Amino acid sequence: MRRHTVQFVPGFLIVLLACLAAPHRAHTQDLPPDPSSAQSAPTPANDSSSEEATTLFPHSESSRFWISGQANIVFQAHPAFPAAYSGPNSLRPTAENATSSLLTLYTGVELTHTTEFLFDEESTGGRGLSEALGLAGFTDLDVVRNPQLGSIPYIARLMLHQVIPLSHETVSATRGPFGLLTKLPARRLEVRLGKMSLVDYFDVNSVGSDSHLQFLNWTADNNGAYDYAADTRGYTYAAMIEYDDRAWSVRFAEALMPKVANGIHLDADVARARSENIEFEHRGNFLPHRAGVVRALTYINHADMGSYREAIQAFLAGIDPVPDVTKHRQQGRIKYGFGVNFEQPVTNWLTVFGRWGWNEGANESFAYTEVDETIEAGAGFGGNLWKRKLDRAGVAFMSNGISSDHKQYLALGGEGFLLGDGALSYGRETIVESYYTAHLWRGVFASFNLQHINNPGYNRARGPVIVPGLRLHVDF
């Protein structure tokens, strides 16, 4: 949601190109690797191996150092759509368009054969449709929800990663911006400390998590009911430990929560505000000769959260002129939830996937989006079917809902950090998204994206709306 990016982009690219000009031996990669573990997911059907270069510059397989970058530019628009009324946080019913940009510089150093340090810097620019308001499943995951932050570069990841071997047997790992090690013990502990995005490691899905080459919608790439700890840019400071075995993994993270809903500042007092996250992952041949993955997630957030019910009661009693959840916050309130995530290759060009999520919905949506219950089903298609191995396509259906307290709060005119039409005729927000990503040359990819949204913001009095989009992605 940032507008002033032009001054930063040339300098960013000059620095990036100068650094990349340093000598490296050839190595290419397609999608950024699943950073959770080398065994955490099957090779997706739409990620066929190819010797064709997929980065503009080669990268070393043996250097202790890593430097690379990405640029992602998304253009979206929607025509005018029917709306009986609109509020301060509505998706605008008049035709509009918006462009967002995300630039990332990835760096890392391999300190020992079991220790590495990662540092990433980002800059975001442009804006989202209607300033990213009016939709629980917003249409562009690259958009940051605070238009006041500007395009000044910021630290995205600053992390120490330690591997503790528990076996002599090793497995291959893909070297890339999320990990430099090329061999890992088959049984191991992994410890990560520092600044990170929790969804780099939790709720990962090989065909439904990458907003740069796959889906764009917030509730397609992540579990909408997973209110994961993060500032408004999507990052937090955390300590994470993960155990990996041949067929299963379990990971746990303790992370900082924002001081206020959708806030940029994190609360460092873990005695009063924090987030516990745990995920179990099982890998196996659920279909003959086709390795799939099932992940089960739970989380508990502690923060200075508002209660929808208290806000409603204060309004009905005449204490507040409008329901305002921010006036009824209390330190130490808890939001908890659960999620399930699966992926299953069916052929060498088709992988199906899905998610289900639920959270308690009594306390305010705080860190990700205004979803209390969600279900998703979709499929990813590999371009090897039509003899374009690095192309990919996908389609996904999402249905999002909210709790009864959350419904009544919005119906009475309350506002969340994303939603607020001034009234509400409730209906589940249902979204169908499809995309096609074409590999143009080396690290250059272009995509067409189409989203159809019924009941935007859970409101049957508004929509439906169609959102076509174009995306340009470059891997350096």
Residue 339 gets the label, from left (phi > 0), alpha (psi -120 to 50) or beta, of beta
**Residues 362, 366: Cα–Cα separation, whole Å:** 12
8 Å CB contact between 172 and 38: yes
**Residues 361, 375: Cα–Cα separation, whole Å:** 16
Smallest CA-to-CA distance from 305 within 260, 368, 255, 264 is with 260
Total count of residues recorded for the chain: 476
8 Å CB contact between 331 and 305: no
Predicted pLDDT at 452: 98
Predicted pLDDT at 93: 98
Residue pLDDT tens, the chain, 476 long: 333 333 333 343 333 333 333 333 333 333 334 434 444 444 444 444 446 889 999 999 999 999 999 999 999 999 999 999 999 999 999 999 999 999 999 999 999 999 999 999 999 999 999 999 999 999 999 998 776 777 899 999 999 999 999 999 999 999 999 999 999 999 999 999 999 999 999 999 999 999 999 999 999 999 999 999 999 999 999 999 999 999 999 999 999 999 999 999 999 999 999 999 999 999 999 999 999 999 999 999 999 999 999 999 999 999 999 999 999 999 999 999 999 999 999 999 999 999 999 999 999 999 999 999 999 999 999 999 999 999 999 999 999 999 999 999 999 999 999 999 999 999 999 999 999 999 999 999 999 999 999 999 999 999 999 999 999 999 99
Q: Which residues contact 363 (CB under 8 A, 6 or more apart)?
A: 305, 306, 307, 308, 333, 334, 335
One-letter identity of residue 229:
A
What's the distance, Cα to Cα, between the start and end of the chain in Å?
24
Strand 429-441 relative to strand 444-454: parallel, antiparallel, unpaired? antiparallel
Predicted pLDDT at 48: 41
**Residues 307, 312: Cα–Cα separation, whole Å:** 9
**Residues 430, 115: Cα–Cα separation, whole Å:** 44
Predicted pLDDT at 147: 67
8 Å CB contact between 188 and 244: yes
Predicted pLDDT at 49: 43
Predicted pLDDT at 343: 98
8 Å CB contact between 272 and 332: yes
**Residues 221, 138: Cα–Cα separation, whole Å:** 11
Smallest CA-to-CA distance from 116 within 181, 42, 54 is with 181
